Amino acid sequence: MPPVLKRSTVASHAVVAPGARLATAQGGGALGADRARVQMVQRLREWGVRDAAVLSAMGAVPRHAFVDEALASRAYDEIALPIGHEQTISRPLSVARMLDALRAPTRGGGARPPERPAGPWRALEIGTGCGYEAAVMARLYDEVYSVERIRALHELARVNLRPLRVPNLRLVFGDGRQGVPTAAPFDAIVVAAAGTEIPQPLLSQMRIGGRLVAPVGEQEQTLHLVERVGQNDWRLTVLDEARFVPLRAGTV
């Protein structure tokens, strides 16, 4: 029997227009990048991101190291940047609010915070892209698996992540819609691309008590938060508007 999502409360976050400018690393070297990250985190806090661990992780990972050198001066701006193959690195607020939603109560009294499991806290990302969000997640969870369907981006992420030496992160080349069943169940799943629905294999790979966050829709997208509350019971909370690249099947 396919999973059936039960709709819960509708929550909303502050909507921030993309393109907000922060201080950049251009001409400032390492100190400029550090200063830009501090300002980015301050803005994220002002825009409603509450989880201290998420803010700390966002402040620790060098976002400029995951974009083309020509775009490094805009790495900490509130904007999505191209990474090739018609894909983008999501704007900082998109990354932060998805990770924040996985860990905190929803606004409006929806799903409760997830309980820490007895074993390793395991997370899955669908859509590795350049590897940035995977690096942030690796600071939040004990084990992180990240799946990318585009071979060239899978390899790019490997190159970007190598200097950071992230031992608890596993990159997987494959169809993200199928998840990673051999590593399931997962306590947290992030889908960094928008489909018309949440793929059933991903719902099945959630731990009971685990959470999934994904954008859903085509022309108009909304962020969906799913909590698995029983063996055959999933609860849906619809958050705010979103804008992501399409979630596609297969590999290229």
Whether 90 is catalytic: yes
> Residue 14: what pLDDT?
43
Angle between helices 52-60 and 29-46 (to 10 degrees): 160
> Residue 71: what pLDDT?
95
- The reply to whether 250 falls in a domain is no
CATH code of residue 199: 3.40.50.150
Neighbours of 249 (CB within 10 A): 11
Alpha carbons 156 and 143: distance in angstroms, whole number: 21
The mean per-residue pLDDT over the stretch 62-66 comes to 97
Alpha carbons 173 and 45: distance in angstroms, whole number: 34
- The reply to whether 67 falls in a domain is yes
Helices (H), 65-208: 92-103, 132-137, 151-161, 200-204
- The reply to whether 237 falls in a domain is yes
- The reply to whether 251 falls in a domain is no
Burial zone of 90 (CB within 10 Å; 0-12 exposed, 13-18 middle, 19+ buried): buried
pLDDT of 6 above 90:
no
Catalytic residue among 8, 12, 56, 90: 90
Number of domains comprising the chain: 1
pLDDT of 7 above 70:
no
pLDDT of 110 above 70:
no
More confident site: 233 or 2 = 233
Structure tokens at 194: 């928008």
In percent, the amount of the chain with pLDDT more than 70 equals 85
Structure tokens at 162: 């190598």
Query: Domain of 142?
Result: 5-242
- The reply to whether 186 falls in a domain is yes
- Cα torsion 127, 129, 131, 133 to 10°: value is -60
> Residue 11: what pLDDT?
52
3-state helix, strand, coil split of the chain in percent (to 5) is 30, 30, 40
User: Where is average pLDDT lowest: 15-19, 52-56, 79-83?
Assistant: 15-19
Going from the C-alpha of 55 to that of each of 50, 114, 236, the distances in angstroms are 8, 18, 25
pLDDT of 26 above 50:
no
Contact 83, 67 (CB under 8 A): yes
Alpha carbons 159 and 55: distance in angstroms, whole number: 25
pLDDT of 184 above 50:
yes
- The reply to whether 252 falls in a domain is no
> Residue 24: what pLDDT?
46
Q: Each residue of 124-173: pLDDT tens digit?
A: 999 999 999 999 999 999 999 999 999 999 999 999 999 999 999 999 99
Contact 100, 50 (CB under 8 A): yes
